[in-house]
Structure 1
């Protein structure tokens, strides 16, 4: 198990859950694609492991045979793995958090291999600085960081309440809609980009399409040999220097998971 060594402000057990599966309608097996000799999932875990808060990392995958390779990769990386429901991600998160006796749950999707550890720390710092105020804190509602820097932090009690009460298909598929769409039930906080900019729909660092992979691969090749803990700002500087990299997946900049759930998502949360 990866155990990040930096002291936490609260004497609570924090678990970062990284949901990962081979199945993908647009790019099958995307989390196992190779980046500089290691799987994309390995690179993702490496970057998440660079945060300065104390936390454990758990890869949450399905019980399906096709995800055996992900469970094996977790073992190779010396990271704990939970296997549960394929389609019910809310249940997978809850059961994983329960298994590892979690007080605070952090959700970071496996398709964010360029996530900046500093951004994860920023969201965690805001959560713990307001520990008695919020049940759930993210940097997504509204989103301002470049897409692919997704961080959601919630108390175990909050996640359990969602698990007990959520019922719509997209609530179960995406874990947290029941939480952030019910501000009368949960106390919700949001962290915006300190620059004051909003690149959430203009810069795409997430992985869904082949072009996204080519973009991510190129960024790693350019920045990783110089500094393996490269930042979001380092990526933006690179894109200004070499705009042809930005263009690799630019046509998908305004897409996100809301596109197929617009009839279900409350209007104030529909960002596409």
Structure 2
């Protein structure tokens, strides 16, 4: 089987994990940024991932998360709801519903994940039947908020470490911490995106920074490119990047 044939034979889905409960910034997923909730911007970026054959919202079964469900369904997403305390359980509701082979995990509080990087890195994994990518870079990078992983790796994590919070809460962290036991594929990170960045919204200060960034760069109907965002961060707030 050629690489292109293997790629088309595998089912890839994107799963957005999000909920309204947050100890540091409650309700942040519906906080407005340029007239739209944060959740809207996360979904809009997820829908730009070309290799994802479906996009799911995985949220809790608590009534407080009903607004997220309503918005996700309005934007064409599939929705699964489950335990507030077990994110992995919610993921497998989506994985089993789609019979997915590969999953792109998207965090609901990091609105600058790069759809193109998701397409490229997922293709590299699928072509080599790998479980995750092994970034080649000198430290951290701006590629945050989303990442591809195989169903096989998540099943393995759930089997060998079901009670580890890296499994049931952070979903992919246990697998990433044990890459030596999985099949990985190296993936070069461009120097322009290497460095220390704070790209998640965890506090009111973070939210205000992103509102300012979107006020300068956002155009309705489009998404802000990661390159634009990195350049803006470096120019306007050097403390957020090396």
TM-score (norm 2): 0.85
Q: Which has the higher strand share?
A: 2
Please give the alpha-carbon distance, in whole angstroms, between the structure 2 residues aligned to 1:143 and 1:124.
21
Question: Which runs of structure 2 are paired with 1:29-48 in the superposition (5 Å)?
Answer: 29-48=27-46
TM-score (norm 1): 0.77
Q: Structure 1: which 5+ residue stretches go unaligned? A: 1-6, 255-272
Question: Which runs of structure 2 are paired with 1:99-118 in the superposition (5 Å)?
Answer: 99-118=97-116
Query: Who is 2:160 aligned against?
Result: 165
- Equivalenced residues, count: 237
Q: Which has the higher helix share?
A: 2
Please give the alpha-carbon distance, in whole angstroms, between the structure 2 residues aligned to 1:47 and 1:233.
14
Please give the alpha-carbon distance, in whole angstroms, between the structure 2 residues aligned to 1:68 and 1:197.
36
Q: Residue 171 and residue 54 in structure 1: after superposition, are their counterparts in 2 closer, same or farther (change >3 A)?
A: closer
Query: Who is 2:227 aligned against?
Result: 233
How far is the alpha carbon of 1:54 from its aligned partner? Answer: 4.0
Query: Who is 1:257 aligned against?
Result: none
Please tell me the root mean square deviation across aligned C-alpha atoms, in Å.
2.7
Please give the alpha-carbon distance, in whole angstroms, between the structure 1 residues aligned to 2:139 and 2:58.
24
How far is the alpha carbon of 1:126 from its aligned partner? Answer: 2.2
RCO higher in 1 or 2 (8 Å CA, sep ≥ 6)?
2
Give per-residue Cα distances to partners, 1:152-185, cap 9 Å, x unaligned.
Answer: 2222222222222322233321112321233343
C-alpha contact 1:171 1:178 (8 A) present in aligned 2: yes
How far is the alpha carbon of 1:232 from its aligned partner? Answer: 1.5
| 1:193 paired to 2:189 | yes
Give per-residue Cα distances to partners, 1:24-53, cap 9 Å, x unaligned.
Answer: 111111111112222111111111212332
Q: Residue 130 and residue 194 in structure 1: after superposition, are their counterparts in 2 closer, same or farther (change >3 A)?
A: farther
